[in-house]
Amino acid sequence: MNLRLGAVSGAAVALLAGFSLCSAAEPSPIQRPAGIGGLIGGAQAFADADYSEGAQPRFAFAANLRYALTPWLRWQVSPGFFWVGYDHTTPLPFQDLNNPTDTTKEKVLSLILPVSAQLQWTPTRGPWHYHVGAGPGVYRVWVENRRKVMKDPLTKVNHKGFYPGMSGQIGVERFLKAQPATSIEFSVAGHWAFADRPEQFPSGYNSAVLGAEFRVGANYYFDVARFEKKSGSTPAK
């Protein structure tokens, strides 16, 4: 694992350790059903074929939009972005038309932009609020070498596109005593994008891609009803 991901992991551990020493206030999903948040961390590709062969972790970013249906069930919509690099000794699966002298993946990046929707089970154990969920997603996947999108040498099609997929997530939150509507979160998310198009990319990078993110961040929860009351007109006397 490279130094960048190690630094992110170290910061995440330190942040969680620091906030675990704070007393937490008991949040109420009924009083504050909606939430927004942001997370940062690292990502790695574990499958499949050219997407994962020689893969090395890079940064990951995600945002959360949540709404509690009950004290134990909520939905979440989460856009994000993550990418992976590759070892300098891993050979290219085909010749890059933009850089024909390159023979390895040293300058190659696989970039994934997910937008996922999930239903999450949200049990509470004391001050700790856990969540686990899954759902469908839409994924923008593209492959670059030296910052240019690669082309399949047979079809001459740029290696990018939108694909359906699935996501899963597990994590834990702890609310702050001083800011009881704010939580610190650590979560692990997995993405399975069906990024195979043999008619367009027969030469390589033609398989599903499984990516995993390890993230830390913060969320803010609020009651949407208070905004509706503020925007409502005052009845005439």
Q: How does pLDDT run across 173-214, given as a tens digit for each residue?
A: 999 989 999 999 999 999 999 999 999 999 999 999 999 999
Average pLDDT over residues 224-236: 62
Using pLDDT thresholds of 50, 70 and 90, give the confidence band for residue 26. Answer: low
Note whether residue 161 is domain-resident: yes
Higher pLDDT among residues 49 and 29, named by residue: 49
State the first-to-last Cα distance of the chain, in angstroms, to the nearest integer: 68
pLDDT grade for 233, boundaries at 50, 70 and 90 = low
CA–CA separation, 26 vs 97, rounded Å? 58
Q: For residues 66 and 25, what is the distance between their CA atoms, to the nearest angstrom?
A: 20
CATH code, domain with 19: 2.40.160.20
Closest CA to 34 of 237, 181, 137: 181
In a domain, 49, yes or no: yes
The label of the residue with tokens 């979160």 reads 185
Q: Where are the alpha helices (DSSP H) in the chain?
A: 3-20, 224-231
Which stretch of 19-23, 24-28, 207-211, 215-219 has the lowest confidence by average pLDDT? 19-23
Q: Tell me the per-residue pLDDT of 84-112, one tens digit each, with 9 for 90 and over.
A: 999 999 999 999 999 999 999 999 999 99
Query: What CA dihedral angle connects 198, 110, 156 and 99, to 10 degrees?
Result: -140
- Coil, strand or helix at 8: helix
60, part of any domain: yes
Residue 237 lies in a domain: no
Place 77 in a pLDDT band, splitting at 50, 70 and 90: very high
Indicate the number of domains in the chain.
Answer: 1
Q: Kindly state whether residue 236 falls inside one of the protein's structural domains.
A: no
Cα dihedral: 85, 87, 93, 96 (round 10): 70
User: Does some domain include residue 99?
Assistant: yes
Contacts of 154 by beta carbon, 8 Å cutoff, 6+ apart: 202, 203
C-beta atoms surrounding 26 within 10 Å: 10
| Domain span at 89 | 3-231
- Write down the pLDDT at residue 126: 85
| Residue 137 falls inside a structural domain | yes
Q: What is the pTM of this model?
A: 0.83
